[in-house]
Amino acid sequence: MPKNFWKQLERPILSLAPMAGITDSAFRRICRENGCDVAYSEMASVSALFFKPARTLELVKFDSMERPYVVQLFGNDPAHFAKATQIVTSQVNPDGIDINFGCPAKKVFGHGSGCALMPQPELAREIIAAVCDNTDLPVSIKIRAGIRVTTAIHFIESIKDLPFAAVMVHGRTYEGGFSSAPDFAIAEEIKKIIPDKIVLANGGIHTPEDAKNILEQYPLIDGLGIARGAWGKPYLFAQIKEIMTTGKYTEYDFTRIRKIAIRHAELLWKNKATIGIFEIRKHLAWYFKGFPKASELRQKLVQTGSVEEIKNILK
Ligand SMILES: Cc1cc2nc3c(=O)[nH]c(=O)nc-3n(C[C@H](O)[C@H](O)[C@H](O)COP(=O)(O)O)c2cc1C
């Protein structure tokens, strides 16, 4: 039986939170190379895996350099979760499987998946059990601070006996969307309820200082989930590690960022060819945001068609 990798990681665990359209293999690898301890896939539909798995298997494939790597599943049918878990375990072989209980997006929530499952503890229990029963990998869940009258505490109380290994708590409620002030105290409260499981706090972490403040204020939390804070700043993970050990951190100058951006472009080209070059454009805009002449540079970068062109512009 594979080890529960979550328990092997040094605390604080710095994770790249799942992001559809962003956390592909190249971005996960770039983050892992810059201090991230564990990276999540983009969310993958269990129904797609159940009926027609080829495209979704392509979405969640990974390079062994990304390990530990967690595949996130979404859906609302326990039978689909069971089958999808078997397929992912045997054909993808990641280090963990995560279940999405936090997504508010219409196309997920509107079909009764993601955050729509938090007020349905019986169905949520069936789903978690279906995943745990069909893999020997550690299972994690990602939840929100709450939805309507159901708080994350209610939800955790209703599932705490199940054998999942970790939980990432997005400190915003469903109603709070993506911009309200996150509540990190709720992650600390959850850790008190499930002290043997790993608890990660997520939401609004954009600087090394943000991370330090949360980790110091809520010492029971095992680690953090970083999402938009890593856009154009995959080195935020390394900076957080530095500030947590030395009290200060290195600023990344243009030369250092250029090196990371070119490596990212090369990985995307290798993985996705011309689609990858199209996709790198948004990352390049994020990498060089805030630099003098950034908008001029961005304008050139968003029109590039090859890694060579990107390198030339960045000279
Ligand atoms: C573009 C985008 C895509 C996302 N996709 C997912 C997803 O696939 N699964 C998931 O659980 N959360 C997803 N999230 C939510 C993030 O994982 C995270 O919980 C949220 O952005 C809050 O963290 P932040 O404030 O650090 O960005 C997504 C967020 C964004 C912005």
Reply yes or no on whether the pLDDT at 1 is more than 80.
no
54 with 155, same domain: the answer is yes
118 and 43 within one domain: yes
The per-residue pLDDT of the chain, averaged, comes to 97
pLDDT of residue 302: 83
Last residue of a domain, one of 246, 271, 289: 246
One domain, residues 172 and 92: yes
Range of weakest confidence among 21-30, 144-153, 260-269, 285-294: 285-294
- 134 Cα: distance to centroid of ligand 1 (angstroms): 26
Examine the domain organization and report whether 218 and 263 are in the same domain: no
- Nearest 5°: the CA angle 302, 289, 183 is 120
- CB 121, CB 155: distance < 8 Å: yes
pLDDT digit string, tens, across residues 84-140 = 999 999 999 999 999 999 999 999 999 999 999 999 999 999 999 999 999 999 999
Alpha helices in 152-253 (DSSP H): 152-159, 185-193, 208-217, 236-246
Same domain, 238 and 279: no
What span, in angstroms and rounded, lies between the C-alpha atoms of 124 and 128? 6
Instruction: Tell me which residue has its CA closest to atom 5 in ligand 1.
Output: 19
What spacing in Å lies between the alpha carbon of 219 and ligand 1's midpoint? 24
Residue 197 clears pLDDT 60, i.e. is over it: yes
The amino acid present at 91, given as its one-letter code, is: Q
Q: Which of 15, 19, 100, 214 to mutate to test the pocket of ligand 1 (most atoms within 8 A of CB)?
A: 19
Comparing C-alpha atoms, which of 30, 32, 96, 105 is closest to residue 60? 96
The residue whose two tokens read 């499930």 is 194
| pLDDT over threshold 80, residue 306 | yes
Q: What is the per-residue pLDDT for 76?
A: 98
- What's the full length of the chain, in residues? 315
Domain boundary among 226, 246, 266: 246
Regarding whether 214 and 187 lie in a shared domain, the answer is yes
* Contact between residue 197 and residue 171 where contact means Cβ atoms under 8 Å apart: no
Nearest CA to ligand 1 atom 10: 18
Q: Is there a single domain that holds both residue 269 and residue 238?
A: no
pLDDT band at residue 301 using 50, 70 and 90 as cut-offs: confident
pLDDT of residue 211: 98
Rounded to whole angstroms, what are the CA distances from 254 to 115, 284, 292, 294, 299?
Answer: 39, 12, 10, 11, 17
Same domain, yes or no: 204 and 309:
no
Helix axes 152-159, 121-133, angle to 10 degrees: 50
Pocket of ligand 1 (CB under 6 A): 17-22, 42-43, 72, 100, 102-103, 142, 170, 178, 202-205, 226-229
The single residue listed with the structure tokens 């070119």 is 262
Digit-coded pLDDT (tens) for 58-92:
999 999 999 999 999 999 999 999 999 999 999 99
Token pair listed for 215: 């980790």
Residue 190 sits in a domain whose CATH number is 3.20.20.70
Parallel/antiparallel/unpaired status of strands 139-144 and 13-16: unpaired
Q: Which domain holds residue 117?
A: 5-246
Total domains, the chain: 2
Q: Does 2 have pLDDT greater than 80?
A: no
Residue nearest to atom 29 of ligand 1 (CA): 19
Do 309 and 201 fall within a single domain? no
Shared-domain flag, residues 216 and 260: no
CA 255 to ligand 1 centroid distance, Å: 29
Q: What is the pLDDT at residue 237?
A: 99
Neighbours of 131 (CB within 10 A): 28
Which positions ≥6 away from 209 have C-beta within 8 Å?
243
Residue at a domain's end among 246, 271, 292: 246
Q: What percent of the chain has pLDDT over 90?
A: 94
Q: Are residues 107 and 35 in the same domain?
A: yes
Q: Are residues 259 and 227 in the same domain?
A: no
